[in-house]
Structures are given as C-alpha cells and as structure tokens.
Structure 1
Amino acid sequence: MVEVGEKMLKHCNGHPLAIVEEFWQQREQWRNSKMFVTIFNPIYKAMDYIVLALSYYEFSYHLKASFVVLGYFPEDFEILLERLYYLWITKGITERGGKRSLEDIAKVYLNGLVHKGMVQVVSRDVMGNIKMCELHDLMRDKCLQITKDENFLLTIVYARNHELQQQHPSSCILDDRIRHLPVYVGDSVQELESIANSTKLPHLKSLLLFPSGKVSYYHSRGDIPQSLELLRILDFTGFSYVRLSSSIMTLIYLRYISLRSARITELPSEIGNLRSLLI
C-alpha cells in the first residue's frame, strides 16, 4: 500500500488534492468496474443502513413517529406536504408549543428529517417552502422494517404486474395487532371491499387507499364492520369518485377523512355529527 501511495503522489506531483481530483474524474469508470459492483457496493449499502439505523434510534420520539408515517406511502411516491401534515396532526404526533400552530410544528419536524438526510425534497413553492417530498428507497426499507418489527404496519399490494408483490385477501394474513393499513389498489374494486369487510382488524386506526390508474371509483356497498370502530384515519386521496354509505357514522373516533381530488357522489348528511372529526 505504501508503494502504491508513493506512485500516486509521484503521478500527481506530490499534491494530495490532485489525487482526489484524479479519482473524481474517473469515479464513473470505478463505480462501473466489476470490483466495485461485486465487493464495495454491497459494503457501502450495508454501511449506509447501519448509519441510518443508528441515527434513527437517536431521534426524539416525535421525529421517530414522524419518520415512520412516511412508510405508509408507496415506493417513489411524491408526498404532498399538506397531506403528510394532516396525518401527523391527526395521529397526535405534533404538539402545540407556545403560539405556534400544529402545522408550524409539523414543518419543524419535516425540516429536521430533511436536515438529517432522511427525507428528500421534491419541489418547493415560490417562497422556497417545501411543497412535496419523498423517501429514498433505503430510508423506506428502514421504515418498513421498523413497522414490521413492531407489528405496526401491514402493506397490501394488488397488481397484475408480476414485478410487484401480489397478495389477495383470501391468502393474506391480516394480523389482528396491525394498527395501520395502506392498500395499493390494482384494478378491482372488489379488492377494496374485501379489505373493508375484514373482521380481523380490531385495532386498526388508519386505512389509506392508493388507487392505480385503472381504479378511480370507490363505492362502499355494505356496512362498515364493527371491528373497525377504532378507525381514526380514512384516506381516499387520488380517487376520482367516492361514495360512502351512512355506516360511516359508526366510526365515532374518526378524526380525519381525506377526499382530496375526489368527486363525492354520496356522503351522509350526518357526517358533521362525528364529534372527533377535524374540519
């Protein structure tokens, strides 16, 4: 190694910075080399994961909780900040401090995650405020691992594309300890009905439905089962049409229902009587 170092110094006229510059100019060739791909790349990824794990466990409670919620969203999903803030607020993660609003506190949490490199900024508004963000794949893997270890979150994916994991209600094991359930919908509304009518989720508090391009209409045909009575978050963001039956009135703990971008074909007039609902 000493001999190699001396040769490098001689080649670069004894200037260490020139060595760095020389390496930087050849970095793509190095990264594409067989040695890097087979040996160093896996090591770097493992080191990144270790650093990420260590940094997560040093977070405050509020930052940990804020970070985990990001795992609800699909891979490479661009998250609208307003939607994320409402989820944090509804879950009680943000705490009012002094004269600052809950949304201001949520912005502080987000900036903390961005500063620590846990969240990537996708776009900003004209004032420079973050408008949309996303999780790096490695960060999302960590999110899902945390929630899996704590029986906190179960993600169900429906799709005909075999590159995606396929799970169907008939074969999917719904652990009754699961508290948060994002459903990535394929091309069948019946899939949604199978989840909505599940009687195995007595502790479920969050149900988020992410439609594909083929599914844009949600119609609640039956009554919402009593097993979902603890539900606090119901998110239909992205659906073109949403029709809900009066059985939604049984969700007395419901605090947040998102119908962003949806044309509501039917909504019970009594929905305003849900005392916990945040308007």
Structure 2
Amino acid sequence: MNMQWVVDEDLHRIGKEMVQKCDGLPLAIVVLVGLLSKKRPNEGHEVYASVWRFLKDDYIHISTVFYLSFNELHHELKLCFLYLSVFPEDYEIDVEKLIHLLVAEGFIQEDGEMMMEDVARHYMEELIDRRLVEAVRRARGKVVFCRIHYLLRDVAIKKAKEINFVNVVYNEHHSSTTCRREVVHHLMDNNYLCDRRVNKRMRSFLFIGEQKRMLGSYVKTTNLKLKLLRVLNLRGLLFDCEGYIPFMSLPDVICELIHLRYLGVADTGLRHLPSLISNLQFLQTLDASGNRFEGMTDLRRLTSLRHLMGRLLIGDAVNLQTLRCISSYSSSKLQHKSFKNLRDLEIYDSGYVELRRVRLDLSSFSILKNLPALTLESTDLQNIIRSSCVPHGCVLSQS
C-alpha cells in the first residue's frame, strides 16, 4: 500500500519563514516544533500570527517561543515546569525523585484510576513532547533522567520570580521572608545554614547539588522549626543539635513537622530514627538511604507512606509503591499481600551486613501483580535464592 503525504503549501511556507526568523538558534527551532506538534493543521496560522506579533529585532527569541508554549499549558503542568527551576544548571534530574516531590508539593491529583505518580509521569512526558524538557536516559520505556536547557531554565527562573514561586540561594545569605519555597545550591560554607532567618510561611526547604560540595556542612536544628513544612530535603548534611555534630538521631524538631509529605535525610550520618517519627502521619516519601541504622525502626504507623528508601523496618503498608534497601531477613518477615501496590522492590543480602542470611523464595512475590522490577543486591546471588521462579512480568536484576 503506497502512502502519499499531502503537504499544505501555505503551512510549508510559513514554517520555513518561522525557522528562518529563529536565526539558526537550534533551541528556538526545537521548542517551536514542540509547540506546532500540538496544533491541528488549521491552527498553524494562529501560531504564525502570534510569533510575528512578538518579533524582536526581526528575530524570534527563545523567550518568545517559550511564553507561547508555556501559556498553553494547563495550571498543573505550568507548576511542574516551574518546579524544574529549583535544580542547578545542567543538573541531571532523577525523574522518580522529581515525581515524589511534585506529589508531595500538592501539584498532582489522582485522575480516575491513575495514581498521582502516574499522572505526574504523564505530565513530564508531555513537557518532553513539547521540547521544554530533554529526556537524558530511558529504561524499560520510561524516562529515568531528564534535563532542562540552561536558556529555558533562565526564563523559567524569571517566571518563577515574577510569581514568587521559589527563592533560590547560592552562596549569598539571602533568605526570603515571604516565599513559600527555598532551595540551596552548592553550599560552600555553613554561615547560611546557621544564621538564616526563619520564614514561618515556608512550605518547602531543599538542599540540592553535588554531595561532595556539601561534605561537612551542617544545619542547626533550631532553624527547622517550620510548622507548615510539606517538603524537607537535607541530603548530605549533618545535624547540629545543641552543639553535637554530627547528631546521629533524627532531631525531634523534624518529628514535630506534622504536615511533612516528603523527608529526604539520605547520607546524613543518621544511626537512629526516634519513635516520634510516627507523628508524621501524612508522610508519603522517606528517603533515608546511605545511612547505617543500628537495629530496626518500626514505621508501621506511617500509613500514608508510599515510597521508602533506607534500611528500615516497615509493617503492613497498603499504599507503599517503592521499597528499597530492605534486607533479605526483613523481607522474609513481610506479609506480601499487604503490599499490593508495590512497583519497585530492592532487597540486599542480609548475610553480609546482619550476619543472618535468609534465602528468598521468589515465587512468593507472585502476589505482587503491579511489581515490574525486582532488584537483588548481592555478590552471591545463587546463595540467597531458594526458588528462581520470577513472577510473571517482573524483571529480575542484580546490583
């Protein structure tokens, strides 16, 4: 069967004119293509007219194309795009972590049978289709890492400032007293962490950047008395609690942040989570990876928990979707039927860490119908598997 493409000569002409007006700037052309890809053929003239109204020096600037594309986004999608401005320039963004943050911020609502995480991933795919975001790496058909071009990031930051969406702090010690989100990049000293003013209206407080740049940095727990906080990410920092650095237990002041949805305390040198953590009844994501906890912490009262990363003990959690860094011993104690929504499971060999090896019967995971991937962390995979019958549709990988 021969396929014949019918080309609208008029659209072809105005398309060439718009590309020429981009003055060879690839990014402007790419975003323009993303904008036109969402239009029906008869709507191309509207884009042409809009572009021509905003010509600067007889050229199409990236800011012009951006605002035309941005203004067509629905409200939630605009928030998702503006949120990308919290990340440093040229930063490879972990899409899964980004999704957890977007959900915790309250930007995402369930849509029918689609979970909030699925809705957020759909939004990210749409931003990629519109060429506003670049997919850096994909795995199993999903975007794993993405990035925003520095020019688009610049205009996103400008737009975010206009609506007081986020306050980004570099090495200057300028903490906003009105903005509800504050982000710190590449901190080089502790002055900001210790001397910052407390903004009681703050909803989100994040440290984002290369961990090695933050090595040895610490935060005074007295600066964390932010009662309305929903999102707190302190990855790679140490806690200064009444002069004790590092403070190896999660400070009680964090356990009093009862509105928290996201808590990131990975690589903070923690050894213990106090029982007071059960106060965080709305907590959806707990990232405590990279810490060596002494004993096990019972998190069974955290019934809203959806994503858990860290060597911790979890009870029955029907909402849990992500469970990483759980030992083979702890895994053997779980009632798998209580984890029906689990989508990501990572188990490490407790024989090397806790000196009590337990062999796994992989067929027991068959009840987890939504589990597409199971990761086993072991140097001796054969010795921890009692049955190699992998559940149907589940991919087994070794790390």
TM-score when scaled to structure 2?
A: 0.51
Output the CA distance in 1 between the equivalents of 2:129 and 2:179.
Answer: 31
Output the CA distance in 2 between the equivalents of 1:84 and 1:44.
Answer: 38
Q: Match of 2:113?
A: 99
**Would you say the 8 A contact 1:246–1:267 is kept in 2?**
no
From the superposition, tell whether residues 177 and 44 of structure 1 become closer, same or farther in structure 2 (CA, over 3 Å): farther
Written as runs of structure 1 = structure 2, the 5 A alignment for 1:46-195 is 47-125=61-139, 127-158=140-171, 167=172, 169=173, 172=174, 174-195=175-196
Q: Match of 2:228?
A: 230
Aligned-pair distance for 1:277?
A: 1.4
3-state SS of 2:132 partner: coil
More RCO (CA 8 Å, sep 6+): 1
- Say which structure is richer in helix: 1
Aligned-pair distance for 1:265?
A: 3.6
**Would you say the 8 A contact 1:220–1:245 is kept in 2?**
no
Aligned-pair distance for 1:184?
A: 1.3
**Would you say the 8 A contact 1:185–1:192 is kept in 2?**
no
Aligned-pair distance for 1:180?
A: 0.8
Aligned-pair distance for 1:267?
A: 3.5
Aligned-pair distance for 1:218?
A: 5.2
Output the CA distance in 1 between the equivalents of 2:58 and 2:144.
Answer: 31
Q: Match of 1:274?
A: 280
AA matched with 1:83: K
AA matched with 1:104: D
Q: Could you list the runs of 5+ residues in structure 1 that have no partner in the other structure? A: 1-19, 21-29, 32-41, 159-166
Q: Could you list the runs of 5+ residues in structure 2 that have no partner in the other structure? A: 1-15, 17-23, 26-55, 240-246, 285-304, 306-399
Aligned-pair distance for 1:224?
A: 4.0
Output the CA distance in 1 between the equivalents of 2:102 and 2:214.
Answer: 27
Output the CA distance in 2 between the equivalents of 1:44 and 1:151.
Answer: 32
* Matched residue count: 223
TM-score when scaled to structure 1?
A: 0.72
From the superposition, tell whether residues 133 and 211 of structure 1 become closer, same or farther in structure 2 (CA, over 3 Å): closer
Aligned-pair distance for 1:72?
A: 0.6
Identity %, equivalent residues: 27
**Would you say the 8 A contact 1:208–1:235 is kept in 2?**
yes
**Would you say the 8 A contact 1:178–1:204 is kept in 2?**
yes
